[in-house]
């Protein structure tokens, strides 16, 4: 039949296609991107007004649908039924941002200055050195490679709208001019009459006109996985809750319906969420802010020192070219050229480690963000809970039995026994086989009017009578029962048993569980013989005077690992807020079960109940816990929301909408919190995008939520987030250690230039040699610190304060530059002076010697003993000193690497179990030796072979660094919060 319809409607399809093409340009209207408007709750009354009023509003007909003329008019006004794509950033611009942003710009500046200096040298001198040329090339290569790496790693939410596009149904069956037509879904307009069957996506927001067992899967919209029945009657004031609206892009999973299109494109519920998600601006990640702060510090120091010594050089009478070269040398020595690559690699390694723990990181910077999280706004269903309705309690034989709701159900014999007695569980094996043996003859489906479901079965238990079973709202089941089944006998359902029922019903309902009543009846064989024609439309069987069996309460139980994870969050100073669309009683019960509302903490309602006073008389400040209903949230001002978030450490938000979830996130951020949000539905995408880190569910999550998020939980388990927090804190600690290690060598790299400039001595360390340290020997050890295990206090301290606990602070600079760096510089100069003295140049002879030393025409320069040195001999000695200074830095960096393993613990406690770090120690030593002793490197890198004895003078300094730092850490542990900790703990 569908094929025939397609053939019959070819002409109409052509007309509609031409209509669309003709009107496409003027119809394409900009999306409603007013952010504040999108944040407001959807206010429509299409579900509340009568059908006659609805037909008048959209000038349509329930039988014939719209006319072609009306379609053209509405299409010209509203445009196509499609989501307007957001403005996208061109790929070339993204590439340029990575290539020229922040830290990279500093390196580009250094490279350009190197090329300028080399150009001037070539133009000025006949035999200009190529140091600056090689340095410029090296810097360019470093920036280009790290820029490309960062560009390819970038996983922002720019693809969100692609996921929304995938949700748009391609075709729709509409009735126009009284004829059925297969159209492109984007050609639909408001007022169109459409038909939807199971397996279709709903093509627009529609008001249900007729429904035959029609159910939709709203999980993509609400996150709740249970199929929702759709009916022509309005059942709720809230448009999202009512059953007579079906929403654009949701799946029809059962039955058929006819509906009237009331909203299209960007004006649909899904369209508003799409626009809200794509309109939100995500701020800088905390780690990006920290790196920017670090860049400002280093740039400031580098430029200040460079310009200062440029001016000093002029004052001291140096030629301007040499002054420029000094400036470049100082800047290059200050900039840790390898740090950009080190940070990127460290984050990548942590992301891989987190993936093994079921946290898939899309955006590398999100790795650290999770570690600095101070508030987690968690969804309930599937994240804190198992996402499966499970029997929790039963009332049977006038007693309440608790069922096993754990994920691993082993010891549930008692529950099985009672279920067996209630005829709810037949222990014969395969459920499908049991159903086949007890064939269903007739069914009266559940509806919102009756609130019960009835089925009639043939049974295979030797009784020829039909068995009628009913389940539904307990009060409805009770009023249809006349007897109750107690201890194997039927007893009259009198006032005593009704009171017992009410007590049990209230008790189970108060636990936040979904309660169902059950009853049955054996139909008399004389009135209902085998083969009787049961009619579910015109009911011809009894639905009263049944036998009441009992109550079963169900709940989506908490995951086993969640209470411990919430407790870990609390000890780590992280506030966990539940934000759910579920009922407040259910939400509160789960919050108490998992520890979000801890034992002994009361809400205002609990206090009112305990004191037996009205809720209004309770002072809210006395309640540490709080359950806020979405309806109350609607009328709250930002300051009232702030007061709730500030004054209550334990909060549950129930019956919340997507817009409210976004408002809650913004409220937390106004308090200065770093917010992580979990979600799985399309409705969660705005909050996921706005949060500092959005965490989507990998199993139950929609594609849109996964695109909007920065991280995906592969097992949908809240406990995995806590693992991620620990990893995030660890990478922040380890990045600090890596930066401390990298910056320390800056001082022995800078001071040779300063002494060269101020005291006029021959240059102790060359520019190329500095590059060998920053991009050679220091790289692997710096990266190896990313593998360092956590110190003992990592999940016992509060989240870091983004304003005060910086990645690079004054204490880290003081340790790296003012303390350890100075010892390292002393080691370098000691080796330099030893080699010079061994070759006849005492320290007193070196001062003021620079001009004579560098004169190519002077080939008889005398040393302290009167020996004469040619220019070539002097340069060979100078390059030997460069090599020795380089080796001394490597040796003192051994100790620096070992002390950077911990910030508080002793090496004795931490151990040397980081095998990557152990490899780093070996690597930098082997690389240093290779650079020293490889033939022909004296030409390329100005590296000369050293005597073995010249490796030794730096070793006492290395030992001194280790002893100094162990004593410092001992004093920190002995006097927590004391002067040493305040001044040196970074």
Q: How is residue 680 annotated by DSSP?
A: -
> 614 and 605 in contact (C-beta within 8 Å)?
no
Q: How many of the other CB atoms lie within 10 Å of CB of 184?
A: 18
Rounded alpha-carbon distances, angstroms, from residue 711 to 139, 488, 694, 695, 705: 33, 55, 6, 5, 10
| Angle ∠(121,125,129) on CA atoms, nearest 5 | 60
Q: How many of the other CB atoms lie within 10 Å of CB of 30?
A: 8
Interatomic CA distance for residues 320 and 705, integer angstroms: 59
- Closest C-alpha to 436, from 459, 468, 464: 459
Residue 440 phi, psi dihedral angles, 5° rounding: -80, 125
- Closest C-alpha to 247, from 300, 193, 202: 202
- Closest C-alpha to 680, from 699, 655, 705: 705
Residue 395 phi, psi dihedral angles, 5° rounding: -110, 115
Rounded alpha-carbon distances, angstroms, from residue 965 to 788, 896, 941, 977: 18, 9, 34, 17
> Across-strand partners of 252?
216
> 700 and 716 in contact (C-beta within 8 Å)?
yes
- Closest C-alpha to 286, from 693, 763, 681, 711: 693
Tokens standing for residue 69: 């003329």
- Closest C-alpha to 928, from 966, 960, 890: 890
| DSSP conformation letters of 177-210 | TTEEEEEEGGG--TT-EEEEETTPBP-SEEEEEE
> 746 and 301 in contact (C-beta within 8 Å)?
no
- Closest C-alpha to 731, from 201, 276, 367: 367
Q: How is residue 494 annotated by DSSP?
A: -
Q: Catalytic site residue 379?
A: yes
Tokens standing for residue 298: 């280093």
Rounded alpha-carbon distances, angstroms, from residue 474 to 452, 557, 729: 9, 21, 50
Tokens standing for residue 393: 């309690």
Name the catalytic one among 131, 379, 710, 716: 379
Tokens standing for residue 875: 């340069």
Interatomic CA distance for residues 933 and 702, integer angstroms: 59
The catalytic site residues sit at: 379
């Amino acid at each position: 039949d569908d094929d025939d319809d397609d053939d019959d409607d070819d002409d109409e399809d052509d007309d509609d296609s031409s209509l669309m093409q003709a009107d496409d340009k003027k119809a394409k209207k900009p999306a409603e991107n007013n952010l504040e408007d999108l944040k407001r709750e959807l206010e429509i009354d299409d579900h509340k007004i009568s059908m006659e009023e609805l037909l008048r509003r959209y000038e349509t007909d329930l039988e014939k649908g719209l006319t072609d003329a009306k379609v053209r008019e509405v299409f010209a006004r509203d445009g196509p039924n499609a989501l307007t794509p957001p403005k996208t950033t061109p790929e070339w611009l993204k590439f340029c941002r990575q290539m020229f942003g922040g830290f990279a710009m500093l390196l580009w500046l250094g490279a350009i200055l190197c090329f300028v200096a080399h150009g001037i040298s070539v133009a000025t001198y006949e035999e200009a050195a190529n140091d600056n040329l090689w340095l410029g090339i090296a810097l360019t290569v470093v920036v280009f490679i790290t820029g490309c790496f960062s560009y390819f790693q970038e996983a922002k939410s720019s693809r969100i709208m692609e996921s929304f596009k995938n949700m748009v149904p391609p075709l729709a069956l509409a009735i126009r001019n009284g004829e059925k037509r297969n159209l492109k879904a984007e050609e639909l307009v408001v007022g169109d009459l459409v038909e939807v069957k199971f397996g279709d996506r709903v093509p627009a927001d529609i008001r249900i006109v007729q429904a035959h067992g029609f159910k939709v899967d709203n999980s993509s919209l609400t996150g709740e996985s249970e199929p929702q029945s759709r009916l022509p009657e309005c059942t709720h004031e809230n448009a999202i809750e009512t059953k007579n609206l079906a929403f654009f892009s949701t799946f029809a999973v059962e039955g058929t319906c006819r509906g009237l299109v009331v909203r299209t494109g960007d004006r649909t519920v899904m369209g508003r969420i799409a626009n809200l998600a794509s309109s939100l601006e995500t701020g800088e990640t905390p780690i990006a802010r920290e790196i920017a702060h670090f860049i400002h510090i280093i740039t400031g120091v580098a430029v200040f020192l460079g310009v200062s010594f440029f001016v000093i050089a002029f004052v001291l009478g140096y030629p301007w070219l040499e002054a420029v070269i000094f400036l470049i040398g100082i800047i290059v020595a200050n900039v840790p050229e390898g740090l950009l690559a080190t940070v990127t690699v460290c984050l990548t390694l942590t992301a891989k480690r987190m993936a093994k723990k079921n946290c898939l990181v899309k955006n590398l910077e999100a790795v650290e963000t999770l570690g600095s999280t101070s508030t987690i706004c968690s969804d309930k269903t599937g994240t804190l809970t198992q996402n499966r309705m499970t029997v929790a309690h039963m009332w049977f034989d006038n007693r309440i039995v608790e069922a096993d709701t754990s994920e691993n159900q082993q010891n549930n014999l008692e529950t099985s026994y009672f279920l067996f007695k209630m005829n709810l569980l037949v222990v014969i094996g395969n459920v499908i086989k049991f159903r086949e043996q007890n064939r269903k003859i007739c069914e009266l489906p559940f509806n919102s009017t009756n609130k019960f479901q009835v089925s009639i079965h043939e049974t295979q238990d030797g009784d020829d009578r039909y068995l009628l079973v009913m389940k539904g709202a307990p009060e409805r089941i009770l009023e249809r029962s006349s007897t109750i089944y107690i201890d194997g006998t039927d007893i009259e359902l009198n006032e005593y048993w009704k009171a017992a029922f009410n007590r049990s019903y209230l008790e189970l309902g108060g636990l936040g569980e979904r309660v169902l009543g059950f009853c049955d009846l054996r139909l008399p064989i004389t009135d209902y013989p085998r083969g009787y024609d049961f009619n579910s439309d015109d009911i011809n069987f009894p639905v009263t005077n049944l036998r009441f069996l009992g109550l079963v309460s169900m709940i989506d139980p908490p995951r086993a690992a969640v209470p411990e994870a919430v407790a870990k969050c609390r000890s780590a100073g992280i506030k966990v807020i539940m934000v759910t669309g579920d009922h407040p009683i259910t939400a509160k019960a789960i919050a108490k079960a998992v520890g979000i509302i801890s034992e002994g903490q009361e809400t205002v309602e609990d206090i009112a109940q305990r004191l037996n006073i009205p809720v209004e008389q309770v002072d809210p400040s006395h309640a540490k816990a709080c359950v806020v209903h979405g309806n109350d949230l609607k009328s709250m001002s930002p300051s009232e929301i702030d007061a709730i978030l500030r004054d209550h450490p334990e909060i549950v938000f129930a019956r919340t909408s997507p817009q409210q979830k976004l408002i809650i996130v913004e409220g937390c951020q106004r308090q200065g919190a770093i917010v992580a949000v979990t979600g799985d539905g399309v409705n969660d995408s705005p909050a996921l995008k706005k949060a500092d880190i959005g965490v989507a569910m990998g199993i139950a999550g929609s594609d849109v939520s996964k695109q909007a998020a920065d991280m995906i939980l592969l097992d949908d388990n809240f406990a995995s987030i806590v693992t991620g927090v620990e990893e995030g804190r660890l990478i922040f600690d380890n990045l600090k250690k890596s930066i401390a290690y990298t910056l320390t060598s800056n001082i022995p790299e800078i001071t040779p230039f300063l002494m060269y400039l101020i005291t006029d001595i021959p240059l102790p360390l060359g520019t190329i040699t500095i590059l060998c340290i920053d991009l050679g020997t220091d790289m692997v050890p710096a990266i190896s610190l990313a593998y360092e295990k956590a110190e003992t206090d990592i999940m016992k301290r509060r989240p870091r304060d983004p304003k005060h606990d910086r990645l690079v602070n004054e204490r880290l600079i003081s340790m790296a530059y003012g303390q350890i760096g100075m010892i390292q510089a002393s080691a370098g100069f000691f080796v330099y002076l030893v080699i010079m003295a061994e070759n006849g140049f005492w320290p007193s002879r070196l001062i003021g010697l620079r001009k004579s030393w560098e004169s190519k025409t002077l080939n008889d320069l005398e040393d302290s003993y009167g020996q004469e040195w040619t220019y070539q001999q002097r340069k060979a000695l100078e390059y030997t000193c460069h090599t020795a200074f380089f080796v001394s830095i490597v040796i003192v960096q051994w100790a620096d690497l070992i002390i950077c393993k911990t910030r508080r613990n002793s090496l004795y406690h931490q151990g040397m179990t980081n095998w990557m770090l152990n490899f780093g120690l070996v690597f930098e030593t082997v690389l240093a030796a290779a650079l020293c002793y490889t033939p022909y490197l004296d030409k390329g890198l100005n590296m000369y072979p050293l005597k073995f004895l010249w490796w030794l003078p730096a070793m006492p300094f290395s030992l001194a660094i280790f002893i100094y730092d162990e004593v410092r850490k001992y004093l920190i542990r002995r006097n927590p919060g004391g002067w040493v900790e305040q001044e040196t703990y970074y």
